[in-house]
Structure 1
Amino acid sequence: MSIKRYGVSGSTGTGGQHLPFAKAVEAGGWLYVSGQTPMKEGEIVEGGIIEQSRLAIQNCLDIMTNAGYQLKDVVHVKVILTDARYFQSFNKVFSEFFAEHPPARICAVADLVVDCKVEVDITCYNAERV
C-alpha cells in the first residue's frame, strides 16, 4: 500500500505562514482531509456562521475532488464550532451538502487557533482506489 500526500508544498495559512502538514493524505482507498477553515488565499473570510460553514465545507470538498474522490465517498466529518449556538445553523448548511449521502459526524465546541467560527475535516473511502 502506498501513501500519497496532497498539497504539501505551497500551503499557506493566515499571514502567509507555511503550513507544515498535507491538505490531504490517501492510503488504501482512504482519504483524510485536514481541517479546513473559511479561508481563501491564506486569509479568513469574514461573515456569519452560515457563510463560514459553507466555505469551510467547500474547501474540504475542493481538496477531496482534486484528489479524485466524490461526495458519495465521504464517510465521516468532524466539526469544531466556537459557540454551541451555531449548531442549528451549521446543520442547515451541512444538509445542503450531505442530504443525499449523509456521513457519520462528530461536532464539538472549542476554541480554534485562527479567528473564525468553524473548522471542518472529512474522511473519505473508495474501494476502487485501494
Structure 2
Amino acid sequence: MELKRTNYSSGAPLEEKVGYSRMVKVGPFIYIGGTTSVQPDGSIYGEGSAYEQTKYVLEKHVELLEKAGSKKEEVIKVKVYATDMKFVPDIAKAYSEIFKEVKPLCTVVGTPMLNRPTQLVEIEMDAVIGAIAE
C-alpha cells in the first residue's frame, strides 16, 4: 500500500541548505522534527526560561499540526531534550498546560547541549490523524 507523503517547511534557511523538513505527513501519520524556540528573526524566544521555550515550541507544533489537518488531541508522543534535568518542573508545567487532558506519551531526555547555548529545550512530536482518545 502506498501512502502519500507531504513535507512541510517552517521557512528556516537551514532546511533547504541541509535538506530536512520541519514536519512530514505520511498518510495519517505526522512527525515533527526537533524544534527549538528560534523565532523567524533568528532570536531565541524565552531566553533563560525552560518554561517559556517549552510553551513556545509546543504551541508552534500545534500550529504545524493544524496545517497538516491534525490537532493536539491526536498527538501520541512527545520527546523533549533538555540541557539540564533541573528544568523538568518547568517543562512539565508548560507541557501540562497543553496536553494534560490529551495524555500523550512523553519522554524527557537530558543532553549536554543544543545548537546554541541559549537553547534549553528541543522538542519532537508524533501524531496520528484520527487517534483521539476515548
In structure 2, distance between residues paired with 1:89 and 1:70: 23
Q: Which residue of 1 aligns with 2:56?
A: 55
Deviates further, 45-54 or 104-113: 45-54
How many residues align? The count is 125
Instruction: List gaps (5 residues or longer) in structure 2.
Output: none
Q: 1:11 touches 1:18 (CA, 8 Å); kept in 2?
A: no
Q: Deviations over 1:66-96 (max 9, x none)?
A: 1111011100001000001001111011000
Name the TM-score, length of structure 2 as normaliser.
0.83
How far does residue 127 in structure 1 lie from its aligned partner after superposition?
4.0
Establish whether residue 22 from structure 1 lines up as the match of residue 25 from structure 2. Answer: no
Instruction: List gaps (5 residues or longer) in structure 1.
Output: none
Shift in CA distance, 5/43, structure 1 to aligned 2, threshold 3 Å: same
1:99-110 equivalences under 5 Å are 99-110=100-111
Q: Which residue of 2 aligns with 1:4?
A: 6
Q: Which residue of 2 aligns with 1:43?
A: 43
Name the TM-score, length of structure 1 as normaliser.
0.86
Which one-letter code corresponds to 1:91 in the other structure? Answer: A
Q: 2:5 touches 2:24 (CA, 8 Å); kept in 1?
A: yes
1:40 is paired with a residue of what secondary structure? coil
Deviates further, 84-93 or 49-58: 49-58
1:35 is paired with a residue of what secondary structure? strand
Which one-letter code corresponds to 2:43 in the other structure? Answer: E
Give the CA RMSD over aligned residues: 2.1
Q: 1:113 aligns with which of 103, 108, 115?
A: 115
Large movers: runs of 4+ above 2 Å: 10-13, 17-20
Q: Which residue of 1 aligns with 2:127?
A: 124
Q: 1:80 touches 1:120 (CA, 8 Å); kept in 2?
A: yes
